[in-house]
Amino acid sequence: MTETSDGNGSNLLVELTADIVAAYVSNHVVPVSELPALISDVHAALNNTSQPQDVVEAPVQTEKPKPPVPIRKSIQHDYLICLEDGQKFKSLKRHLMTHYGMTPEQYREKWDLPADYPMVAPSYAEARSRLAKEMGLGQRRKAAKK
């Protein structure tokens, strides 16, 4: 789709150039004397992008991030160690969202953790469970007396 290839490509290039220049000029102060150069530069840039170029892309090798501690040691009885920064927490969910914008699912996926990887320390989960049972949560309501 170059300027010399056919009329439709040329028309499209001119239309795109006009749209881009109009948008730019509506948001920037450009002296009238610089308009021809701006139009020419935009047109040339679009013309260059429309011509095929021989670009060999190197295969992207994403290196798996290395956690600050081994995954097995990240779960302790009283705390969890965040694999992003190595800090200790009773509960990871809020930390992950506020500092990294990650959900627990994204965190597990990033670090190849199992679906049952805990987001709260085992001792904290036990204490919360014990408290809930003491309050009578999770049991059927007693029938009301008449």
Q: Using one digit for the tens of pLDDT, what is the confidence trace for 80-117?
A: 999 999 999 999 999 999 999 999 999 999 999 999 99
Check: CB of residue 123 under 8 Å from CB of residue 117: no
Looking at CATH, the fold of the domain delimited by 71-134 is given as: Arc Repressor Mutant, subunit A (1.10.10)
Residue 77 near residue 122, CB atoms below 8 Å: yes
Residue with tokens 């597990």: 108
> What separation in angstroms does the CA of 115 have from each of 24, 50, 111?
49, 46, 11
> Rounded to two decimals, what is the model's pTM?
0.53
pLDDT digits 0-9 by tens, 16-31: 999 999 998 888 888 8
Q: Specify the domain boundaries for CATH 1.10.10.1550 within the chain.
A: 71-134
What confidence tier does 48 reach under pLDDT thresholds 50, 70, 90? confident
